[in-house]
Amino acid sequence: MKRIVVFISMILVLSSCGEAPKKSNEINLYSQRHYKVDEQQYKVFEKETGIKVNVVKANADELIERLKNEGENSPADLFITVDAGKLQKAKDLDLLQKISSPIINQNVDVDLKDVNGYWIPITYRARIVVYSKDRVDISELSTYDNLTDEKWRNKVLVRSSSNAYNQALLSSIIANTGEESATKWASKLVKNFARDPKGNDRDQVKAITAGQGDLAIVNSYYIGLLLSSENEEEIKAGNSVGVFFPNQGEDESGSHINVSGIGLAKNAPNKENAIKLMEFLTSESAQKTYTDTSYEYPANPNVEPNEIVKKWGSFKKDILDLNKLGVFRNKAIEIFDKSDWK
Amino acid sequence: MEIIKKIVQIEHKRWIIGSSLIALFLLLPIIFLFSNIFEIEQSSFVYLWKNLLLDYSFNTFYLIAITSLFALLFGIFPAWYVSNYKFKFRVFFDIALFLPLAIPTYIMAFTYSDLLSYTGPLQSYLRNNYPDFSNIFNNDYLQIEILGILLGLALYPYVYTASRVSFSLIGSTYINMSKNLGLSSTKLFFKVIIPLSKPAIFSGLFLVIMEVLNEYGAVKYFGVNTYTTGIFRAWFSMGNENTAIQLACLLIFLVFIILFIEKLSHKKSKFYYSANSKIEKLSTPTSNKYLYIYSLCSLPFILGFLIPFFYILNNSILNFKNIDFSRLFELSLNSIQVSTISTVLIIITALLFLYVEKISKLKLSTFISQVTSLGYVIPGAVIGLGVILLFTKIPMLSSYSLVGSFYVLIYAYVFRFLAVGKSPIKSSLEKQPESFDDTAKTLGLGPFKILQKIHFPINRLALITAFIVTFVDLLKELPITLILRPFNFDTLATQTYEFAIEEMMVESSSYSLAIILIGSVMLVFLKYIINKQINAS
């Protein structure tokens, strides 16, 4: 008898610690973003509107699986990722619905918008080349293709091909130049690797400072994060490299960019609140918060990038339909495997 | 007819059927997942074979080999010294050597790579003070060999504990006999003690290998592609479930081979500790030996616990004014609460399976009990996805939208960690003679009463051990929590990981420190219990 009492009380404890999200004045997010700045934004939104923001944070692909399997019963209103390819994947699996809001439409840059209207951008970042200021002359740099030149043998640093940023970069190259030329690019670049791919983007910058290579392919905001670090050594590392935007020539595609974006879930139970949050996150004040803490570029053209980022100058973006980053994802991974990019 | 008669004759039918149903319930996600295996497309397997399998296999085996080597080195020698010799701080080392278990493998890996990196404290210090000298240390530390050593440091306590118990129980009879035969202490160790303790050492090593096979965060960061990274890549990046399941099958097959080898080694060396007396008198080492003892006992402790602990502690102090104490408290409470509830359920389930296995004496029950341990070898995220599939695809369950509730999260934990809770209880139950049950039966006690009146009190210490070991493992759990957790639910582990993958080691420090402290307290308590067991037998 005693056992049964214990068991029942345990189940009660269990239920009490679950805050089942209720309808109406709430909104449920499945998010890949897990930065402090996001929490700040949601808090401000809660204060302004009284709508409570509930979040589950995990890997984008895992969240897509969860969304897919939950189907109509999914509690999720919004799906937030750091890669347009994943948004395209979600749309492809019929997990998203069209977003229509004149406010958002006005808030975000035309170049970054989803042509089909299923997701919106909140910030964007460029996949750039950084170089050792001591050992590389900036005039030697030009395009992503240039990185495969023999003069860079054993000099190029980049992270693993499991990483979504690299997958997106190669997808963009497939979309722009075709499969054959992308395959050639990848296998030639692998020959120039200074070491086996490993670590994250910041580690590639540190490896340049440590002299293990001369060039690295990284996301732009990591340089901003290094330069604003509290660790003096990291600031030094950030200062030892120069920022270069590839593919800026007249007949060239521009530097590869990708967005952090939001999709509206097909079965969103709190659709109105969801749209309100998207309107808030693309508003000028929220966009300013993003750029000043994460060093990404704002999706709202009325907001300027952070001072550190502004110093690198403006650049020509690759205005490829970002959905292509998802369309060519599998092809890109196949090419990575074939070219032995670990 | 015959069969029906036989079934009717089987004792404890209700127990057997009950446990079988629970086993089936636990295994459902995996059954669901693997039912897809018959739909394998050949092309995906060919692709796997051609491009990746060789690389994945090599890395997996190589990493297992290095980790095992260091886990054995760090585990066996100190265990022998502590069990056999008298020296100052012996009791301290006995506890201290256990503590690295409180540090999750991914924290160990991230901490050391931060510590050793170009912008880390070691290299910065050398660069600023001894510029000529500093270049020696300017290396790329993200190597598979380094990862193996780090995993060895985080996991050797499994080997240490297993050998420590075994060494203490082998007993003075063997040792005295060998000494009388003129064996030197080195020879005694390699020719007698190690062979006799092989099964125990292997059982510890088995846990180490399972952890390596399951490792994801650290392996990915170091750019080492193992089967587990392959599963994730195939499933998530390529959206190819079949390839992922094939790799998971391969992983399970590998584990069966390892288990089979273990069984063989068990059979060869069958002997009973209880026939011997335990070591009664500790030897006094020669002055030469002290050097070995102190260096070999302190090395794993310093590298595996002290250095990462102080580094994390230092980071927390530096970051003290930014620590959000209410959040830290909330997450600690979350971690403790969810781990405690799951652990209790795991222990009850484990006890049920083992007890039925004991009383029924049916091959089927043994098989069922073993199959439910399978969860431990399947990567957490695969279990998580199996669970999602189960609760969303079965019409009866899907209408309740259970995914994202604590019930489902804890259900997945139970399946994943059942084996961890089972192993201490199992070895304790095996030691008891059948006569206990028989006597109780003659006295008219039913199976439930026998469990309550006899096995519960006798195995009390084993149950506590099982509780702590499982609890500490759950405290560190990451992949299942990430994928199945309810809204707004964070644990210490998820928060630590989220900061760590963004290389925000300083911000993550207070949360990882909490994991380490809670784990350490539990482990010190556990060590106290294990020693009680050693002294009592």
pLDDT score of A18: 45
Q: What is the dihedral of CA A31, A32, A33, A38, to 10 degrees?
A: 10
Q: Would you call A73 and B399 a contact, using CB atoms and an 8 Å cutoff? A: yes
pLDDT score of A172: 95
Least confident of A125-129, A134-138, A160-164, B131-135: B131-135
pLDDT score of B38: 62
Q: Is B120 on the interface with A (CB under 8 A)?
A: yes
**Closest chain B C-alpha to A250 CA, distance in angstroms:** 34
**Facing residue for A233 by CB, picked from B119, B238, B506:** B119
More confidently predicted of B36 and B424: B424
Q: Would you call B221 and A162 a contact, using CB atoms and an 8 Å cutoff? A: no
Least confident of B269-273, B382-386, B500-504: B269-273
Highest mean pLDDT (candidates B44-53, B78-87, B170-179): B78-87
Residues of A in contact with B232 (CB under 8 A): 162
pLDDT score of B512: 93
User: pTM score, two decimals?
Assistant: 0.84
Angle at A241 between CA A237 and CA A246, to 5 degrees: 145
Q: Is B223 on the interface with A (CB under 8 A)?
A: yes
Report helix angle B105-116 to B505-536, nearest 10.
130
Q: Would you call B140 and A207 a contact, using CB atoms and an 8 Å cutoff? A: yes
Asked if pLDDT for residue B278 goes beyond 60, the answer is no
Q: Is B501 on the interface with A (CB under 8 A)?
A: yes
pLDDT band at A213 (very low <50, low <70, confident <90, very high): very high
Reported as type and span, the H/E element at residue A272 is: helix A271-281
Q: Is B276 on the interface with A (CB under 8 A)?
A: no
Asked if pLDDT for residue B279 goes beyond 60, the answer is no
pLDDT band at A321 (very low <50, low <70, confident <90, very high): very high
- Percent of chain B's residues with pLDDT above 70: 89
Q: What is the pLDDT of residues B394-443, one digit of tens each?
A: 766 666 667 778 999 999 999 999 988 888 888 777 766 667 777 777 77
Nearest CA in chain A to B394: A69
Nearest CA in chain A to B393: A69
- What is the rounded distance in angstroms from the CA atom of residue B71 to the CA atom of residue B304? 11
Q: Would you call B406 and A237 a contact, using CB atoms and an 8 Å cutoff? A: no
Residues of B in contact with A18 (CB under 8 A): 405-406, 486
Residues of A in contact with B222 (CB under 8 A): 198-199
Residues of A in contact with B119 (CB under 8 A): 206, 209, 231, 233-234, 236-237
Residues of B in contact with A203 (CB under 8 A): 117, 142, 503
More confidently predicted of B18 and B310: B310
Q: Would you call B388 and A65 a contact, using CB atoms and an 8 Å cutoff? A: yes
Q: Would you call B119 and A56 a contact, using CB atoms and an 8 Å cutoff? A: no
Residues of A in contact with B29 (CB under 8 A): none
- Percent of chain A's residues with pLDDT above 90: 68
Nearest CA in chain B to A294: B502
pLDDT score of A20: 47
Q: Is B399 on the interface with A (CB under 8 A)?
A: yes
Is the complex ipTM more than 0.90? no
In a mutational test of the B interface, the residue from A9, A33, A64, A73 whose CB has the highest number of chain B CBs within 10 Å is A73
Q: Would you call B401 and A74 a contact, using CB atoms and an 8 Å cutoff? A: yes
Asked if pLDDT for residue A237 goes beyond 80, the answer is yes
Least confident of A83-92, A161-170, B23-32, B332-341: B23-32
Q: Would you call B502 and A35 a contact, using CB atoms and an 8 Å cutoff? A: yes
pLDDT score of B275: 45
In a mutational test of the B interface, the residue from A26, A52, A233 whose CB has the highest number of chain B CBs within 10 Å is A233
**Closest chain B C-alpha to A251 CA, distance in angstroms:** 32
Segment B91-120 shows an average pLDDT of 90
pLDDT score of A21: 45
- What is the rounded distance in angstroms from the CA atom of residue B383 to the CA atom of residue B91? 40
What count of residues does chain B have? 537
**Closest chain A C-alpha to B433 CA, distance in angstroms:** 28
Least confident of A82-91, B59-68, B176-185: B176-185
Asked if pLDDT for residue A254 goes beyond 80, the answer is yes
Kindly calculate the radius of gyration of chain A based on its CA atoms and give it in whole angstroms: 22
Q: Would you call A54 and B384 a contact, using CB atoms and an 8 Å cutoff? A: no
A-to-B residue pairs, Cβ atoms closer than 8 angstroms: 150
- What is the rounded distance in angstroms from the CA atom of residue B390 to the CA atom of residue B409? 13
Q: What is the pLDDT of residues A16-58, one digit of tens each?
A: 444 444 446 899 999 998 888 898 999 999 999 999 999 998 8
Helical residues (DSSP H) of A132-240, grouped into ranges: 164-177, 179-191, 201-209, 220-227, 232-239
Q: Is B62 on the interface with A (CB under 8 A)?
A: no
- What is the rounded distance in angstroms from the CA atom of residue A29 to the CA atom of residue B404? 12
Q: Is B222 on the interface with A (CB under 8 A)?
A: yes
Q: What is the pLDDT of residues A144-187, one digit of tens each?
A: 999 999 999 999 999 999 888 999 999 999 999 999 999 999 99
Q: Which amino acid is at A266?
A: K
Sign of CA dihedral B371, B374, B375, B381: negative
- What is the rounded distance in angstroms from the CA atom of residue B257 to the CA atom of residue B65? 15
Reported as type and span, the H/E element at residue B74 is: helix B53-84
More confidently predicted of A36 and A272: A272
- Spell out a b/e string for A192-211, using b for 16 or more CB atoms within 10 Å of the CB, else e: bbbbbbbbbbbbbbbbbbbe
- Arithmetic mean of pLDDT over chain A: 89
Q: What is the pLDDT of residues B175-221, one digit of tens each?
A: 777 777 777 777 777 877 788 788 788 888 988 998 898 888 888 88
Q: Would you call B483 and A62 a contact, using CB atoms and an 8 Å cutoff? A: yes
Q: What is the pLDDT of residues B332-374, one digit of tens each?
A: 999 999 999 999 999 999 988 888 887 777 777 778 877 888 8
pLDDT band at B22 (very low <50, low <70, confident <90, very high): confident
Q: Which amino acid is at B50?
A: K
Q: Is B29 on the interface with A (CB under 8 A)?
A: no
- What is the rounded distance in angstroms from the CA atom of residue A81 to the CA atom of residue B78? 48
Q: What is the pLDDT of residues B283-324, one digit of tens each?
A: 777 777 888 889 899 999 999 999 999 999 999 998 888 888
More confidently predicted of A207 and B274: A207
Q: What share of chain B is helix, strand, coil (3-state, %, to 5)?
A: 85, 0, 15
Query: Going along B171-247, which residue ranges are E strands?
Result: none
**Facing residue for A342 by CB, picked from B223, B393, B410:** B223
Q: What is the pLDDT of residues A130-151, one digit of tens each?
A: 999 999 999 999 999 999 999 9
